[in-house]
Structure 1
Amino acid sequence: MENKKSKSILSNIWVVSLGAALCCFLWGSATPAIKTGYRLFSIAADDTATVVLFAGIRFFFAGIATVFLGSLLQKKVLLPHSVNAFRKVAALGMVQTILQYFFFYGGLTRCAGVKSSVILATNVFASLLIAALIFKQERLTWYKILGCVVGFAGVVIVTVAGKEVDYKITFGGEGFIFLSSVCYGFSGCMVKLFSKEENTVMLSGCQFIFGGAIMALTGFCFGGRFSGFTAASVLLLVYLVFISAVAYTLWGLLLSHNDVSRVVIFGFLNPVFGVILSSIFLNEQSQTGLVTIISLVLVCIGIFVVNYRKRH
């Protein structure tokens, strides 16, 4: 468990803001990085087995990197040392990695990219409702609901503007994407709950090893294969490993020391960063600069409202 000094630092609003924004920037950069990875490794986006294999390898090595670096920094071996600890790792890995990405990749092939981005943004609402109504980790207030609505509006604007959207809904498409968001909401609350007794870095790293290994094995057994290992492709895979290791670990540390809503509201920055970075690195000119700015302003307003504290 982290000491009181680290807890006070990680609860500081500026540390929360900078840390969460960094996580969202890294996750946003994953969008163009993954697309580039598919091209370098010759992976078809609709080849679910290979996509799952690729993601599993990425998460497995992210877990190893997290445990190794965390052990060096904390000068102790960060592994589950009891059956109860391993159960928590397995439960978190099942929800945060295996189920979340099973529903995500399963639904992505049957759901348009525009709709999937909007539906995924509901993970902030899911996190807030699950934390308040199921885990009882915080109170549900009008400030939090309003902030989520404003932030979500920003995501819808940057995602939908200038594109045609059909309103057809299927369980195996849009339904799976939504279930992925629900898994995300549960995993955040589980991290906060389990971190009361277990080391947050250990939880993050070991759940990646557990979940990544099962994903990689599943993808391989269903025929997933990829090639094209070059200096450029391996370097890109290393970056994807770095994204998962750093972002999820830092996100978990922030969740363990703050209200879930205070942290997850920053998740609305993910699609905004994704659009900006995709336009830079993939030349995807899908939005105007004004649309992106308006979206970013709305997301920032939503973040401010959720984190607003009345001063008496």
Structure 2
Amino acid sequence: MRSPSQKLPKYYMAKILTNKHGVLAVALFCSLLWGSAFPVLKISYDELSIHPDDFYAQIVLAGMRFFLAAGLLFAVILLQRLPMKLKRYLLAELVVLGILQTGLQYFFFYYGLAHTSGMKGAILTSSGTFFVVLLAHIYYRNDKLNINKVFGLAAGLAGIILVNSDKSFNLAFAWQGDGALIMSGLVSAVGTIMAKRLSDTLHPLVITGWQMLFGSVLMLTLGLPGLNYYSFSFAKTAWVLLIYSALISAVAFSLWYSLLKYNKAGEISIYKFMVPVSGVILSSVFIPGEGFDFLMIGGLLLVTLGIIAVNRNQETETVRCLSK
């Protein structure tokens, strides 16, 4: 006889995650959470008076976020009774993954977003999805480029070029902001390929929890010695934003991997087009001085179309870009 306290919640959760309306709602909610990371970070910089070139403060802020997120993920892992014990060779790989996927990726992300707008950042970081497609073509024999992917890559590239153009359609590209965010996407794509390989041995939540922990410890270790403590004080609003940003990662990843447990990766990944869409919309609403223009709208439409195209009828897990 099943225990009502244990079996029924799992039953109802599985029912939601296999219902087409439930899948749509949860997938869009995850994308909305990831998209909200852009205005939250920009507002956090203002609340903490972090200068765009103060990368020590940026690294510490990122380290705090992902240390908290790792703790929340480990709580979920314990509740689900997933095996957490690591073999020595897996430990080394997870440390490397943490350095890449959390440490290096979010160094570029936090530094880049400090030098550009939240709306532009939401579009540029979507480059990670397209880098994954290219790397998967090189790395996997069963995940080669096809017409949909080539079209999607072309649309995505066109969108990125468009948002980096001025009103005269001259390229206006800044390495500090735009270049750093594209590098964040590239490092994220490399980390995604590594995580895919590790997922044959470990549960994806366990992989994410450990790599977040290792990456956050690295960032705190590197950032704290150079931090100016007098210009890095938390008021109530800053604490709320930090906790929320940690919840973004923990809640979104937990729900996303639950969706992947019951559904094909390709059927879920297509909803990732809502990450840049929600990021752009929320940034325009919550960040003072940010608004739409025809270049931003055109770039967003092209990148969104590209994400949908590369994920159409995609049934491998390699297209999953572990986003914000």
When normalised by structure 2's length, the TM-score is: 0.74
Q: Which residue does the alignment assign to 2:236? A: 231
The one of 90, 95, 115 equivalent to 2:95 is 90
For residues 82-126 of structure 1, what are the alpha-carbon distances to aligned partners after superposition, in whole Å with 9 as ceiling and x for unaligned?
2133223212211101121233445566x6558766653322221
Local SS of the residue matching 1:196: coil
Whether 1:133 aligns to 2:138 is: yes
Contact residue 147 and residue 305 of structure 1 kept, 8 A:
yes
Question: Match for 2:30: what amino acid?
Answer: C
Q: Distance in 2 between matches of 1:284 and 1:253?
A: 37
Cα offset, 1:206, TM superposition: 1.3
For residues 204-238 of structure 1, what are the alpha-carbon distances to aligned partners after superposition, in whole Å with 9 as ceiling and x for unaligned?
11111110111012111223535433333222211
Question: Match for 2:309: what amino acid?
Answer: V
Whether 1:198 aligns to 2:225 is: no
Q: Which residue does the alignment assign to 2:4? A: none
Identity percentage over the alignment? Answer: 32
Question: Match for 1:286: what amino acid?
Answer: G
Give the gaps of 5 or more residues in structure 2.
1-12, 315-324
Q: Distance in 2 between matches of 1:160 and 1:11?
A: 42
Whether 1:35 aligns to 2:42 is: yes
Where does 1:171-182 land on structure 2 (aligned, <5 Å)?
176-182=180-186
Q: Distance in 2 between matches of 1:223 and 1:185?
A: 30
Whether 1:65 aligns to 2:69 is: no
Question: Match for 2:64: what amino acid?
Answer: I
Q: What is the RMSD computed on CA atoms of the aligned residues?
A: 3.9
Contact residue 120 and residue 296 of structure 2 kept, 8 A:
no
Q: Distance in 2 between matches of 1:70 and 1:45?
A: 36
Contact residue 152 and residue 268 of structure 1 kept, 8 A:
no
| Number of residue-to-residue matches in the alignment | 300
Cα offset, 1:184, TM superposition: 0.9
Distance of aligned partners of 1:78 and 1:165 in 2 relative to their CA distance in 1, 3 Å threshold: farther
Q: Which residue does the alignment assign to 2:3? A: none
Question: Match for 1:36: what amino acid?
Answer: I
Contact residue 23 and residue 250 of structure 1 kept, 8 A:
yes
Q: Which residue does the alignment assign to 1:218? A: 222
Question: Match for 2:212: what amino acid?
Answer: F
- Range with bigger deviation, 242-251 or 12-21: 12-21
Q: Distance in 2 between matches of 1:269 and 1:153?
A: 18
Q: Which residue does the alignment assign to 2:287? A: 282
Cα offset, 1:142, TM superposition: 1.2
